[in-house]
Chain A
Amino acid sequence: MKIFNKKFPNIFLNKRKFYTKSSDKTSFFDERIIVEKKSFFREWDSKRSKLAAALSNGISQIGIKEGSVVLYLGASHGYTPSFVSDIIGDSGFVFCVEISPVVARDLVVICEKRKNMTPILASANHPETYKQLVVEADIVYQDIAQKNQVEIFLKNCNAYLKKEGFGLLTIKSRSIDITKKPKMIFKEVMKVLEEKMTVVDYRTLEPHEKDHALFVVKKK
């Protein structure tokens, strides 16, 4: 197991696969677990996680590091959130917002196991509804396939992201407009983001995900 990149000291590489160091040896998602020097490393699949896909495609910065407070929108069963939880460690914290009660059942189970995770059953489209349940965050991460996904992201960054904090936004071009070329959509998204934020980097997610991109922005 070696460190993936000096910039990401908590992300590891082994035989071209990503791993994070976990305090827990439970494999919630059937992911492979490697034990090395009494530490547990969980395999992080770029096909299942857009964040891992962006890393694999060479994204230069993700902002998420040891001790980060993360607001995660569209947490689903908790796959990517669990790796974020590994990266930020005991001194970090991740708030996992998910709208669907059915998938959130798995999310709750993981949150009960991990001391730095908590679930929030709410729509990210209405950030005011979880005002009492979250705190200001160093990172806002969003993975929601909705037509107004950019608007949802900006609303949340506006309400909860610290100044100079990082925002990570995954875009599924099909959800915005299926008839347009993904490239055009990404261009439009870039323009909207640039009005409010500093765009740090972005990557399309081929071959891991079709017609997807991940944007990294910084709050001015």
Chain B
Amino acid sequence: MVDFKKLRINNILLAKKTIREAVCEDDFIINSINNIEDLAKVANVLCKRLRQWYSLYLPEMYNKIGDNEAFVRLVLKKDKNTLMKELKLSETMGSDLSKNNLKPILALASRIDSLYTLRNELKDYLKKIMGVYCKNLLTLAGTVLGAKLIESGGSLKKLALMPSSTIQMLGAEKALFRHLKSGARPPKHGIILQHPLVGGAPKNKKGKAARLLADKLSIAIRTDFFKGEFIGNKLKEELKKRLK
């Protein structure tokens, strides 16, 4: 007779232990990058609201300061007169708000500012752990793109086992399926488009740049996964030369 009761209890204990021990750098990286992305999204939505609200007070700021993060910092750090001077405004359409009516605007700005701060802290944290876990990938791809690749691929191990052509397409799976199924135009790249050497390449060279970058990324990732030496800078130089 099989003792299912005992088997069940033992298996539950073993499964819990396996889940506990499976937590690794990949999980820290994936959670950080997901939060970095969402923090930026949330902060930008709120910042748009802040801009509208603040425009009752000093509307000329809206168009003069395009960058959201800079906008929030200025609202918090400088008063209306200073800002008008710095923006070379002799007059404004903004109304003089009472302290009572200005206070909630500044409170919102301060919360948004702390979202940006948190995002930057997470980026620093990511950079630190990736510097130990996958320094070659970090050097070649940068913090955010490197982490996004790990997130898309599932783990450093999975990335290391992928052909470079798959790495090139990560993040473009939908377009790729469409191409394979119905013969639509194939995508040339996925998220690696965010790399300055691909994104900045002239339009007719983007495909080639994406392929070359994916090749180098693949080498960097495998070297990291198999705990090889540091070749990140060398790979970067080679890539730059080939893309000249």
- A: residues with CB less than 8 A from B are 93, 95, 101, 104-105, 107-108, 111-112, 115-121, 133, 135, 174, 178-179
In the complex, chain A residues whose CB is within 8 Å of the CB of B15: 104, 107-108, 111, 118-121
Chain A residue with the shortest CB-CB distance to B22: A101
Query: A178–B176 Cα gap in the complex (Å)?
Result: 10
Chain A residue with the shortest CB-CB distance to B2: A135
In the complex, chain B residues whose CB is within 8 Å of the CB of A179: 180-181
Return 26 A-B CB contacts under 8 Å, by A number: A95-B11, A101-B18, A101-B22, A104-B15, A107-B15, A108-B15, A108-B16, A111-B11, A111-B15, A112-B12, A115-B8, A116-B4, A118-B15, A119-B11, A120-B14, A120-B15, A121-B14, A121-B15, A121-B19, A133-B14, A135-B2, A135-B7, A178-B177, A178-B181, A179-B180, A179-B181
Q: Shortest CB–CB separation between residue B75 and chain A, in angstroms?
A: 40
Chain B residue with the shortest CB-CB distance to A122: B18
* Contact pattern, B 1-32, Cβ under 8 Å of A = 1, otherwise 0: 01011011011101110110011000000000
> Contacts A101-B18, A105-B19, A133-B7; is A119 near B12 (CB within 8 Å)?
yes
Q: Shortest CB–CB separation between residue B121 and chain A, in angstroms?
A: 25
In the complex, chain A residues whose CB is within 8 Å of the CB of B11: 95, 111, 118-120, 133
Q: Shortest CB–CB separation between residue A185 and chain B, in angstroms?
A: 13
Which 5 pairs between the two chains have the least Cβ-Cβ distance? A121-B18, A101-B22, A119-B15, A118-B11, A118-B8
Q: Shortest CB–CB separation between residue A132 and chain B, in angstroms?
A: 9
Chain A residue with the shortest CB-CB distance to B18: A121
Q: A116-B4, A133-B11 are in contact. List 16 more A-B contacts (CB 8 A).
A: A93-B8, A101-B18, A108-B15, A115-B8, A117-B8, A118-B7, A118-B8, A118-B12, A118-B15, A119-B11, A119-B15, A133-B10, A135-B7, A174-B177, A178-B181, A179-B181
If over half of A's interface residues share one DSSP class (helix, strand or loop), that class is named, otherwise mixed; here it is mixed
What number of A-B contacts does a CB cutoff of 8 Å give?
52
Q: Shortest CB–CB separation between residue A85 and chain B, in angstroms?
A: 12
Chain A residue with the shortest CB-CB distance to B23: A101
In the complex, chain A residues whose CB is within 8 Å of the CB of B22: 101, 121
Of B2, B7, B8, B12, which is in contact with the most chain A CB atoms at under 10 Å from its CB?
Answer: B8
Query: A164–B16 Cα gap in the complex (Å)?
Result: 34
Interface contact A101-B19, CB-CB below 8 Å: yes
Q: Shortest CB–CB separation between residue A147 and chain B, in angstroms?
A: 13
Query: A133–B11 Cα gap in the complex (Å)?
Result: 7
In the complex, chain A residues whose CB is within 8 Å of the CB of B19: 101, 104-105, 108, 121
In the complex, chain B residues whose CB is within 8 Å of the CB of A121: 14-15, 18-19, 22
Q: Shortest CB–CB separation between residue A109 and chain B, in angstroms?
A: 10
Chain B residue with the shortest CB-CB distance to A211: B181
The B152-204 residues at the A interface (CB cut-off 8 A) are 177, 180-181
Q: Shortest CB–CB separation between residue B74 and chain A, in angstroms?
A: 42
Query: A121–B12 Cα gap in the complex (Å)?
Result: 9
In the complex, chain B residues whose CB is within 8 Å of the CB of A108: 12, 15-16, 19
Of A104, A118, A135, A174, which is in contact with the most chain B CB atoms at under 10 Å from its CB?
Answer: A118
Query: A104–B14 Cα gap in the complex (Å)?
Result: 12
Query: A105–B10 Cα gap in the complex (Å)?
Result: 16
In the complex, chain A residues whose CB is within 8 Å of the CB of B2: 135
Interface contact A178-B180, CB-CB below 8 Å: yes
In the complex, chain B residues whose CB is within 8 Å of the CB of A118: 7-8, 11-12, 15
Q: Shortest CB–CB separation between residue A111 and chain B, in angstroms?
A: 6
Query: A105–B59 Cα gap in the complex (Å)?
Result: 51
In the complex, chain A residues whose CB is within 8 Å of the CB of B23: 101
> Contacts A105-B19, A108-B19; is A93 near B4 (CB within 8 Å)?
yes
In the complex, chain A residues whose CB is within 8 Å of the CB of B177: 174, 178
In the complex, chain A residues whose CB is within 8 Å of the CB of B8: 93, 111, 115, 117-118
* Contact pattern, B 133-168, Cβ under 8 Å of A = 1, otherwise 0: 000000000000000000000000000000000000
